[in-house]
């Protein structure tokens, strides 16, 4: 056991004395030390109940003969951080979470980890730590919140953001906005649509790093607490069998996860986080894989924000493993891979079945023939850009329009509020990339405002930053190279024509190359200024969005 070096022998008497000062008995100290990482805090609705989940994990570990040792990590609520400088800190928190878990684990010689998480950057940060440390580990999420109900319709957080746009457009009264605000998020848990948090919780399950049910069992169901106890029990089994994260996180496991992601129509942020987790596991996961797999994998689930279903509907329909079982029918999933359950994918899927084909469609009747995400390349994005094509209206799949250029989210949002954006425009928001922002902000407010104004079918948005998993419409993010690195997006001028061709996977700036060379000669490096030592350190070492915005 790794913990033996911290507890065994006469020269470890001081160490045992300190453990006893923390209340542990000799019998407990002799057990395997299981780090239980609790990302509870009192501001993220997906995390306010994680003390209960953590206690359940600890009960499972104790029941199986381990010593659970709890420690915390930070977490950012992307919804609360949205549309102000706070969002600059969200993506950078991912690496800080990973690093802090490494420090605690290595310093205290833990034998294994159970990582209790739920929301956007905390999930991949924990998975990256598991992959990097490569000691037995299971990720357990706190589960999704239930959808709200307004006038007989299920709603969620994206409804509130889009309702703000309706108020701006004069089509919704402020009084009704308050009504929606009060009912849209009725329980704790990760926000109810297939946004980034729930997409990543589903990815953890599809990768095999979480147990069946991890992605979809609602936070308020007692089944979620039972799953947490099972995670505590299972970590002892993984420790005994010496099953390590890198045994689970093979290239084939990532291909499985991408297939599930594309079938679900998940968040564009998976193109950041899956490569980052792979990088931590010592693998390279080029974003081009999303297109290659997407050509074979159809879009089977019409989840919010692109559709009307929520995570609770996917849960009732059989969950992630039902989606995987459906993909197995088409030979689109590898089933011989080991998982955190101690079983193979095939064994996990033995009892999986689709219970509602209106939620998980047959392969013969998909919502779209290709998967939910697409990687676009072209003269505006030589290294790639990302769009959730399943959430784009048909009339916007190919769009040609004049660029409206803004050097920050605030500038663009002010123009939208002032109704300065016209039908047919292409809103370009730059210097919001990993280095330029810094932090690659999500921009749900601009996309939601335009959707609320009814312009999601006439206006495209393009950025070297990110769009939230709750965004819909022709919202194209992660443009690489970013503007701060001198990418072509830095050279766009007001009125330049831009071509978006999603079926052809193209994103082009329709400007003569000689003119671009002239502009390149005049361009001066620029980054948004921030009063933050951490962000200024981060921007010096972070890579491009096309590489997962990992730190090197």
Catalytic residues: 468
Tell me phi and psi for residue 197, to 5 degrees.
Answer: -60, -55
Closest C-alpha to 170, from 454, 423, 413, 473: 454
Residues 254, 182 contacting (CB under 8 angstroms): no
**DSSP per-residue string spanning 183-246:** HSS-SSSB-SSSSHHHHHHHHHHHHTSS-TTTTTS-TTSHHHHHHHHHHHHHHHHHHHHT--HH
- Work out the angle at residue 447's Cα, subtended by the Cα atoms of residues 446 and 453, and round it to the nearest 5 degrees: 90
Residues 132, 102 contacting (CB under 8 angstroms): yes
Would you state the structure tokens that stand for residue 342, as one six-digit string? 């101690």
Q: Which residues of 381-396 are buried (b: 16+ CB within 10 A; e: fewer)?
A: bebbbbbbbbbbeeeb
Q: How many Å separate Cα 223 from the centre of its chain?
A: 23
How do the residues of the chain divide into helix, strand and coil, expressed in percent and rounded to 5?
A: 45, 15, 40
E strands, 94-183, where? 112-117, 137-141, 148-150, 153-155
Cα(152)–Cα(172) distance, rounded to whole angstroms?
17
Assign residue 213 a region: left if phi > 0, alpha if psi is -120 to 50, beta otherwise? left
Tell me phi and psi for residue 400, to 5 degrees.
Answer: -125, 125
Residues 278, 249 contacting (CB under 8 angstroms): yes
499, β-bridge pairs: 400, 508
Tokens 């080991």, located at residue: 338
Cα(316)–Cα(303) distance, rounded to whole angstroms?
13
Closest C-alpha to 402, from 425, 377, 375: 425
Closest C-alpha to 106, from 33, 198, 193, 209: 33
463, β-bridge pairs: 429
Cα(488)–Cα(383) distance, rounded to whole angstroms?
11
Closest C-alpha to 552, from 434, 466, 464, 442: 434
Residues 6+ positions from 5 with CB-CB distance below 8 Å = 109
Provide the 8-state DSSP code for 145.
P
Residues 6+ positions from 399 with CB-CB distance below 8 Å = 426, 460, 474, 499, 500
Tokens 């061709």, located at residue: 501
E strands, 481-536, where? 497-501, 506-509
């Amino acid at each position: 056991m790794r913990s033996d070096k911290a507890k065994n022998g006469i020269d470890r008497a001081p160490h045992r004395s300190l453990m006893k000062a923390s209340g542990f008995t000799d019998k407990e100290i002799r057990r395997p030390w299981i780090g239980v990482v609790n990302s509870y805090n009192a501001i993220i609705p997906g995390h306010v109940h994680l003390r209960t989940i953590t206690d359940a994990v600890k009960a499972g570990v104790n029941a199986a003969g381990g010593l659970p040792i709890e420690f915390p990590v930070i977490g950012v609520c992307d919804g609360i951080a949205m549309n102000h400088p706070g969002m600059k800190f969200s993506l950078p928190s991912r690496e800080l979470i990973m690093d802090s878990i490494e420090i605690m684990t290595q310093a205290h010689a833990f034998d294994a980890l159970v990582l209790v998480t739920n929301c956007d950057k905390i999930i991949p940060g924990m998975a990256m730590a598991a992959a990097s440390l490569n000691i037995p580990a299971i990720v357990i999420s706190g589960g999704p919140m239930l959808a709200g109900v307004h006038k007989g319709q299920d709603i969620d957080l994206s409804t509130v953001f889009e309702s703000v746009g309706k108020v701006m457009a004069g089509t919704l009264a402020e009084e009704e906005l308050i009504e929606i605000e009060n009912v849209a998020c009725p329980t704790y848990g990760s926000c109810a649509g297939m946004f980034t948090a729930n997409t990543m919780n589903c990815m953890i399950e599809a990768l095999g790093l979480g147990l069946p049910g991890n992605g979809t069992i609602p936070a308020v169901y007692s089944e979620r607490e039972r799953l947490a106890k099972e995670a505590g029990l299972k970590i002892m089994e993984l420790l005994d069998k010496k099953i390590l994260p890198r045994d689970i996180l093979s290239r084939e496991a990532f291909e499985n996860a991408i297939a599930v992601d594309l079938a679900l129509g998940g968040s564009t942020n998976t193109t950041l986080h899956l490569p980052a987790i792979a990088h931590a596991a010592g693998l390279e996961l080029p974003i081009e894989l999303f297109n290659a797999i997407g050509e074979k994998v159809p879009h089977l689930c019409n989840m919010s924000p692109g559709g009307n279903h929520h995570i609770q509907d996917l849960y009732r329909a059989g969950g992630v493993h039902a989606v995987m079982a459906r993909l197995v029918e088409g030979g689109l999933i590898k089933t011989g891979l080991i998982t955190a359950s101690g079983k193979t994918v095939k064994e996990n899927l033995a009892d999986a079945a689709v219970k509602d084909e209106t939620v998980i469609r047959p392969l013969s009747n998909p919502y779209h023939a290709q998967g939910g995400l697409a990687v676009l390349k072209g003269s505006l994005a030589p290294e790639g850009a990302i769009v959730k094509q399943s959430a784009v209206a048909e009339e916007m799949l190919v769009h040609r329009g004049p660029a409206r250029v803004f050097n920050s989210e605030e500038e663009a949002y002010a123009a939208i509020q002032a109704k300065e954006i016209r039908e047919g425009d292409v809103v370009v928001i730059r210097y919001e990339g990993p280095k330029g922002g810094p932090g690659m902000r999500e921009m749900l407010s601009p996309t939601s405002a335009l959707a609320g104004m009814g312009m999601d079918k006439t206006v495209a948005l393009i950025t070297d930053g990110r769009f939230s998993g709750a965004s819909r419409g022709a919202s194209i993010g992660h443009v690489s190279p970013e503007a701060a690195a001198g990418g072509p997006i830095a050279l766009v001028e007001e009125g330049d024509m831009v071509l978006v061709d999603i079926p052809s996977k193209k994103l082009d700036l329709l400007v003569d190359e000689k003119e671009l060379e002239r502009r390149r000669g005049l361009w001066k490096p620029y980054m948004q200024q921030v009063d933050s030592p951490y962000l200024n350190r981060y921007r010096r070492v972070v890579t491009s969005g096309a590489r997962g915005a990992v730190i090197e």
